[in-house]
Amino acid sequence: MERLTIEPRPDWRERAEKIGFEFHTINGEPYWCEDAAYSFTTAEIDMIDDAAQRLEDMCLELVDDIIANGDYGAFGLTETACSLIEQSWQRQDKNLYGRFDFAWCGGQPPKLLEYNADTPTALFEASVVQWEWLNSYRKDSDQFNGIHETLIDAWKNFGLWGHRLHFTCVRDHAEDLGTTEYLRDTAVQAGLDTERLFIDEIGWNGARFVDQAAKPITTLFKLYPWEWLLQEDFAAHIQPSGVKLIEPAWKMLLSTKAILPLLWQRYPDHENLLPASFDAAAIHGAKIAKPFWGREGSGITQYAADGSIADQTAPGGDPAPDRLVYQQAVAMPEFDGFYPVLGVWVIASRACGLGIREDRSAITRNTSRFVPHLFE
């Protein structure tokens, strides 16, 4: 693995906008970056791919055990949430996508930092945008990127023929809207009937959820976290309405950082896991404190080996900021002053692509840059 310094294409903005990538620049700063690229060998890509697939299989086994034993105590979930989780798992509701974030610089096995299992973004740029870049920059190289085709195949297997599939996200958020519209486009390419509306446009007619045309919402893709959704007034209607949600309710067990200590308990000393615990004293040396539902690097505290605070990010609206997990700190790889995080995408529980974000800080924040990759 190495970081290449390259010359950006002079018309990269126009190219990005031509394929629908409107949020390439955020707050005046480039989010999509072409002045660098990460290069891998085929063997390295195989190692990353294998690690993500192995972890996905482990996560599904853990979910099955938790639900079979009714062991929800570590999650701090309501009875309603637990009931929704159990019903969705028993119905075998299909999941669509997730992203494993790894720390890795080659050599040793990748180490899992966290699993974004409910509402991950950076999907469109990992799928379409960096593929367009590769075909323009170096056609004789390859890329770990089967995301687009795998998404289309996944939609075809959801059993939604004859149903209208609604897509929703919050207003005034370019990245969320871009991700939602991209996913909707892949569903259209799979032959499904789709409709988009914002989360505040979802109605309730006393018996079911409806869209603005009063048409029933039977299946809903929501780029809106489950922990937020369950705080909404209409959350009480989810179960009686029979609406099918994507991601399904059982993904709540994987979308919280509480999964990190539970994975470590079940698979101690696994090569792709870092020691993690609900008890700070159980993690020796430098450690990271993470809120259960923290997003985009919010609410994280990094402790040095002597217990002093080495770095800290601002809170970000976590519904339970005092519920923390502790994970052993790992030396993040550094290239030219940037710290990359490798995000491996799983579609329908199949590892199929890589997207890389880098930051000047070892804690990846919502201001991080997306950088393309290739392998030989």
pLDDT (0 to 100) of residue 52? 98
**Beta-bridge partners for 295:** none
- Domain spans of the chain, in order of start: 35-256+334-375
Cα distances (angstroms) measured from residue 260 to each of 4, 96, 330, 371: 33, 21, 14, 27
pLDDT (0 to 100) of residue 298? 77
Q: Provide the 3-class DSSP secondary structure of residue 359.
A: strand
Amino acid at 314: A
Burial class (CB in 10 A: 0-12, 13-18, 19+), 42: exposed
pLDDT (0 to 100) of residue 62? 97
Strands 301-303 and 219-222, sheet pairing: unpaired
What's the CA gap between 184 and 176, in Å, rounded? 12
DSSP for residue 118: S
Q: Provide the 3-class DSSP secondary structure of residue 248.
A: coil
Do residues 166 and 221 touch, judged by C-beta distance below 8 A? yes
Could you tell me if residue 366 is left (phi over 0), alpha (psi between -120 and 50 degrees) or otherwise beta?
alpha
Amino acid at 35: D
Closest CA to 102 of 338, 330, 348, 324: 330
Joined tokens for residue 211: 């869209």
Closest CA to 169 of 360, 23, 16: 23
Joined tokens for residue 100: 């494993």
pLDDT (0 to 100) of residue 318? 62
pLDDT (0 to 100) of residue 30? 87
Do residues 166 and 197 touch, judged by C-beta distance below 8 A? yes
**Beta-bridge partners for 328:** 287
Q: How high is the mean pLDDT in each 10-residue block of the chain (376 residues)?
A: 94 92 87 95 96 98 96 92 96 97 89 96 95 91 97 96 94 92 97 96 93 95 94 89 96 96 97 97 94 81 91 71 89 91 97 96 80 95
DSSP for residue 125: I
pLDDT (0 to 100) of residue 314? 74
Burial class (CB in 10 A: 0-12, 13-18, 19+), 277: middle
Rg over CA atoms, the chain: 20
What's the CA gap between 20 and 32, in Å, rounded? 13
Amino acid at 31: Y
What's the CA gap between 356 and 335, in Å, rounded? 13
pLDDT (0 to 100) of residue 322? 77
